[in-house]
Structure 1
Amino acid sequence: MTQRTAIHAFRLLVLMGCSAPALWLAWQWFYGDLGVVPGEAVVHFTGTTGLSLLLITIAFSPAFRFTGWVGFMAARRQIGLWAFFWLVAHMLAWMGLDQYWDWPWIRREMVELPYIRYGAAALLLLVPLALTSFRRAQQGMGRTAWHWLHRLVYVSALLGVVHLWILTRADYLLPSVFAAVLFALVVFRLIDAAIHRQ
């Protein structure tokens, strides 16, 4: 198998892996297997999926550093856009299935509840990253400015973890795992930057 074929196969696996949760969610919704409050289950599922993919997006750079395989970098934009898709779906599910598009109430929730503000801020930070994720944008901005902008992904991920942590009421295993993964990725980034600065 040539490297190009391997990269295409990997991108196909990313496509299948990132879209499969939507099929599972639709199946669960259709058969009524999302619990007593299906709308709330959809909100939590889309948020968890989006945050997971966001962390995987960040993890693709260390994976490339350790393995040297360019497939990780070739698929990083793809999986990053999927993370953005799922987090937008999370916000829309919250507005529609949880808040019933009650805009005055939505605005009140955003003002009064810190975890809503953290989540909204995390998503807003991803908007310029999604809009500039294409090669033409990178060429137009210049490589240095583009890289600095896309470091906002770490801030967005941190806000996402804080959002989940505050929202959690009992079992902190999942937010703890997310926090530990993000911490490890940030430490790797700092060490890698220090090494390449020398």
Structure 2
Amino acid sequence: MINPTSRQITALKVLIFVLALLPFARLVAFAFLDRLGANPVEFITRNTGDWTLYFLCMTLAVTPLRKFSKWNWLIKFRRMIGLFAFFYATLHFTTFLWFDHFFDVQEMWKDVLKRPFITVGFIAFMLLIPLAVTSTNGMVRRLGGKRWLWIHRLVYLIAPLGILHYFWMKAGKHDFAQPFLYGAIVALLLALRLVWRWQGKRVRPQAA
């Protein structure tokens, strides 16, 4: 699909939307079927956290895929994928606030300040909020392209913080395989951007 029509783009958006909701639907189904395991809170927390990280990686992967494939239309899906990263991050945080602390904000703050991996995860979630709030076309117009772009570059900080949160969480069980895997993916996706930025700086003086 080199140059999809607007109808095909819309169909793909619907498909991505439905597929992105499947992990949430699975959690709901498991809850009704009593299949969340011996520790349902841990199951939900890990599952929503994992999918937050998956969607963050997918969001970062859109631009490299677009550049390598020359399919510029892929950029039309980045906003939706990014918003699903925020959706699952919100579920992840809500699970922590609700089931771990029963909406006791004071106790939650104690936990955030006491445990570094929660501190890092909380910071990453807070940084996601302005990205979600400013994701509309109207906000792009109000902020201006440059200011909007600087805000959305926060994702380059959020993704490493998410990896660090994941790494510290797994450290207690000495399970580092997945954190290293996703850390390598994020490192590669960010390194590609640095290379392209450096190449762009070299080309501009030559063109001048």
**What TM-score, normalized by structure 1, do the two folds share?**
0.94
- Counterpart-to-counterpart distance in 1, 2:152 and 2:106: 33
Q: How does 1:19-168 map to 2 (within 5 A)?
A: 19-168=21-170
Gaps of 5+ in 1: none
AA of the residue aligned to 1:165: F
- Counterpart-to-counterpart distance in 2, 1:68 and 1:142: 26
Other-structure match for 1:171: 175
Q: How does 1:9-24 map to 2 (within 5 A)?
A: 9-24=11-26
Gaps of 5+ in 2: 204-208
AA of the residue aligned to 1:58: L
C-alpha root-mean-square deviation of aligned residues, in Å?
A: 1.4
Other-structure match for 2:206: none
Which segments of structure 1 move beyond 3 Å, counting only runs of 4 or more? none
Q: CA deviation at 1:92?
A: 0.3
Deviations 1:157-196 (A, max 9, x none): 1111101100112221111111011000011111111222
- Counterpart-to-counterpart distance in 2, 1:102 and 1:139: 38
Contact 1:49 1:86 survives alignment (8 Å): yes
- Counterpart-to-counterpart distance in 2, 1:3 and 1:87: 32
For the residue of structure 2 that corresponds to 1:54, the secondary structure is helix
Greater RCO between the two (CA within 8 Å, min separation 6)?
Answer: 1
For the residue of structure 1 that corresponds to 2:186, the secondary structure is helix
Q: CA deviation at 1:48?
A: 0.7
